[in-house]
Amino acid sequence: MKKFFALVAVATLSLGAVSCGEKAETVETEAVVDSAAAVVDSAAVVVDSAAAVVDSAAAVVDSAAVAVEEAPAQ
């Protein structure tokens, strides 16, 4: 009977260790996902900034085109 209880105790501890390992892996996965989301958000900020620069350049080109059209012909 002692051997049976020892076997049950070992099996219980083994299953407990396996379930704890899975939880740690889930936490690591969530950390990786959060980190990836932060990188994507940072990239979105860079893209928005680049879009603002492009818009500004387009306004300069449009302004130059208007100036050329209004210039007197020689």
Structural tokens at position 48: 């928005």
**Calpha distance 3→11 (Å, rounded):** 12
**CA max distance for the chain:** 112
Whose tokens are 């990786």? That residue is 32
**Calpha distance 38→44 (Å, rounded):** 10
pTM over the 0.75 mark: no
> Over the stretch 25-60, which tens digit does the pLDDT of each residue have?
556 777 888 888 888 888 888 888 898 999 899 998
